Amino acid sequence: MKKWVNVFTAGMLATSIWASPILAADSSQHATKESSSTVSQPYGDMANHWATDNVTKWSHRGVVSGVENARFEPNRPITRSEWAALLNRAFQIQPGQAASFTDVNRDDWFAPTVTDAVYAGYMKGFEDGSFRPTQVLSREEAVVTVNQLLQIPSSDTIKTFKDSTSLHNWSQKAVNSVVAAGIIEGYQNGTFQPQKSLTRAEAVTILDRAVNHFGAWYGESGTYGPSTGLAKQAGNVVINTTGVTLQNTEIAGDLIIGKAVGNGDVFLKNVKVHGQTYVYGGGEHSVHLNNSVLVSIIVNKVDGTVRLVAEGATSISEVKIKTGAALDVSQGASVDRVTLTNELPAKSNVSLTGYFHTVNVEAFAINVNIPKGQIDTLNVADNATGTTIDTAKESSILSLVLNAAAKVIGLGSVDKAVVNAENVSFQTKPKSVLNGDKVSSDVKVTIGNSTNTLGSQGTTSSGDGGGSSSNSNESDNSKKDDHKKSDDKKDDTPQAPEHNGDANISVPKKIVTVGESVYFTSSYDGTAYFSSDFIDYRNLQSLELGVKSGEVLKMEVPANKTVSFATYDINHWNFPNNYEFDLTVYDKNSNFHSKEVTVLDENEPLDQSPIFVQYPERKDRLDQFSVDYNRLLHLADGKTTEDIVQWSVGDGSFTPFTKEDGAVRVEDNKVFILPKHLEDRLVYKFRLVTDSVVTSNGQFNKEFQTWGDRKTVRITMIQPTEDILKVKKGGDITFSLSDVSEVYLLNTFVWGSQSNYDDLVAENWGKKIIVKDDEVNKPVTISTGDLPSGKYKLDVWYGQNLDLEIIE
């Protein structure tokens, strides 16, 4: 299914902090492309300019840069999105949740910039749903954003300007606070001119003063702090380049190790931080803490793994890990508590070397490696299903509490393990295993290769190895009934349906929650795969590569036997948006059947940036749409399906989508929109009204609006016209389209964005034609050219596609 996803992507990067890139497809958008390198001297048009020093400083620091031909254009007004990009980079604003605005498209360079600024809370949109990213920024707007970002306290001193009455009500307090802080000034004639646009030079000057108010900012390699004694920093400290040593310093506020450190090194020697320490950069060697005292460290490096080394008499109260990390605590240093937060992506790796008092695992399906050292208490939370704890022989855990299904592998020692969940396994037997108060006294655990039942006093008794495992196929090596029912306990395991002779697979429950197994039955012997919807289940090679990378589950399945995949083993690196999966069974001749399965995490908050789907390839759903959320939904009280969706046709305004227009249906995690009739050549937008749907725990949706979609573009074949389309190598394919679009001839198994398609065409792996306005409903031709023989698809963007074969 081709999906048209209406969300921002955190990985989207702005081409320039000042100017948007030139869009070749739209000649009406003209912008100047900025040089990506920092400057070593003032720009050609900055000679004798009053802002030369600040522009040079922040250019060296990599926060601002010029435009083409070594110019800076200091007197050009700055736009709202450009200002947001400047502040994001200087103040190390982290990626946030996607925000939806009517005038911000997901492909715009400023889309992630706007998202991050709004999520950080220092900027917001307008009441009409717009952000106005290209609108020039006024002086009072700039002041309000700085005040929101720095949270400057109100000042008792009120500065009066000749034009104070022209200040808007929403800016008066902010202007007073920011002026009192010395970050912005009025003009020599006694005016403030709040509505005047801010220039690039003024913006950099305000930035410089705002950072100075925030604290110290180290953007050049070197050693900072006195060689003896102790310097006191009243505010915060930002380290934003590699090769920085900060020594003999006491920081009253926060310490930020910035993104521009990259994979480099930072050294802290005799540093005391009273606030939070944020680690956004650093490599695998990398952040060295020597004889330092830190209250709380938050590790959140978006790209790659960072290593923290605590040496000497370093003392750390808590480390919160949100991204992959390695902690190395040398003898003499101490870390009281480590929390592997639920923000860690699944399949993340965290390494803990040395002594730790308490380690709390809250993340889903991560790997905890303990190469050497001791953990006094390791707690696996009840939502941390799928945790793997890898213990080396030189490591030990004194107390291990397992509140969720987990695997403990390796040769390390565990003194006492408390089991509070099913599906717990140990490679090496702990010295003592106890059942907790959250499970029955006969809970089973796997130790080595045998299944064991915990007695009421926690002693282990050897089991017979029987029973079924939720993450493997249920073997039938003996004649005894593994699903035998007791008198007082009902067996709810799905049973295989009676085989009717048709090759197929049966999935009784196609929507499950994380931790719940997906049961299925194949009518034939084969190999089953459970994969993300982003992996092409039709391509066996892709599935096998996914198995090797840990993103696809695999098992051999016998005919007519109910087996299951455990969802806690899924690689949810893109969770919660990646909640659609494919269950596929291949037979020995590489024939296959596949079913869609949705896996939802009911512990996650409702994602307010849902996926918007059009179904151009489903003949049974042509011109149908859905808004897909990450939670099960139902219609909110007092709402009907006639008043929760609005739509606009062409350039028209939004109006209610009523029964005369079509139907709306709330089903599972989706809101389906089924128009009765759509016209070719028109663009349609849909809006889901705030508080239309609600989750089981009372979370309501926020307003969501699509970018604009057309009726599915139909394709009518002219040559060839057989049921199984075949064309000789080098031959032509002739057809007509119902609307303008791009048409691709690519390998059947290709899937991705339009830019992916274009790249393949550019590399001669496919063909493309553009059907223009005067060619609609007329014969057009695409040549197979020198494409090799094989299976292909004729894929219409925003339209249908047809499978065909190029033969010799």
How many other C-beta atoms can be found within 10 angstroms of the C-beta atom of residue 805?
13
Q: What is the pLDDT of residue 314?
A: 93
Do residues 607 and 577 touch, judged by C-beta distance below 8 A? yes
Residue 621 phi, psi dihedral angles, 5° rounding = -135, 25
Closest CA to 583 of 661, 505, 657, 656: 505
Q: What is the pLDDT of residue 602?
A: 72
Q: Predicted confidence band at 619 (pLDDT cuts at 50, 70, 90)?
A: low
Residue pLDDT, tens place only, 512-532: 877 677 888 999 999 999 988
What distance in Å separates the CA atoms of residue 610 and residue 103, rounded to the nearest whole number?
Answer: 18
pLDDT over threshold 90, residue 55:
no
Q: Output the CA–CA distances (angstroms, integers) from residue 211 to 301, 525, 588, in the order listed.
A: 22, 66, 65
Query: Beta strand pairing status for 450-454 and 315-321?
Result: unpaired
For 11-25, 244-258, 574-588, which range has the lowest pLDDT when averaged over its residues?
Answer: 11-25
Element (H, E) at 758: helix 754-762
pLDDT over threshold 80, residue 556:
yes
Both tokens of 419, joined, read 């089991």
Do residues 662 and 623 touch, judged by C-beta distance below 8 A? no
Do residues 400 and 381 touch, judged by C-beta distance below 8 A? no
For 613-622, 669-678, 708-717, which range has the lowest pLDDT when averaged over its residues?
Answer: 613-622
DSSP at 113: H
For 28-32, 304-308, 606-610, 699-703, which range has the lowest pLDDT when averaged over its residues?
Answer: 28-32
How high does pLDDT run on average in the chain? 82
Q: What is the pLDDT of residue 618?
A: 60
Q: What is the pLDDT of residue 327?
A: 95
pLDDT over threshold 70, residue 25:
no
pLDDT over threshold 60, residue 105:
yes
Q: What is the pLDDT of residue 495?
A: 34
Mean pLDDT across 42-56? 82
Percent of the chain scoring above 90 in pLDDT: 49
Q: What is the pLDDT of residue 461?
A: 38
**CA 505: distance to chain centroid?**
32
Residue pLDDT, tens place only, 462-504: 333 332 223 333 323 222 223 222 233 333 333 333 333 457 8
What distance in Å separates the CA atoms of residue 157 and residue 84, rounded to the nearest whole number?
Answer: 29
pLDDT over threshold 90, residue 46:
no
Q: What is the pLDDT of residue 463?
A: 37
Q: What is the pTM of this model?
A: 0.53
Q: What is the pLDDT of residue 578?
A: 53
Residue pLDDT, tens place only, 183-203: 999 999 999 999 999 999 999
pLDDT over threshold 80, residue 377:
yes
pLDDT over threshold 80, residue 460:
no
Q: Predicted confidence band at 756 (pLDDT cuts at 50, 70, 90)?
A: confident
Q: Which residue has the higher pLDDT, 60 or 308?
A: 308
Mean pLDDT across 174-180? 92
Q: Predicted confidence band at 621 (pLDDT cuts at 50, 70, 90)?
A: low
pLDDT over threshold 60, residue 369:
yes
Do residues 412 and 393 touch, judged by C-beta distance below 8 A? yes
> Domains of the chain by range and CATH?
44-213 (no CATH), 505-600 (2.60.40.1930), 611-710 (2.60.40), 715-807 (2.60.40)
Q: What is the pLDDT of residue 16?
A: 30
Q: Predicted confidence band at 672 (pLDDT cuts at 50, 70, 90)?
A: very high
Beta bridge partners of 407: 388, 425
What distance in Å separates the CA atoms of residue 751 and residue 601, rounded to the nearest whole number?
Answer: 26
Instruction: State the Cα angle at 412 between 407 and 414, rounded to 5°.
Output: 75
Q: Predicted confidence band at 14 (pLDDT cuts at 50, 70, 90)?
A: very low
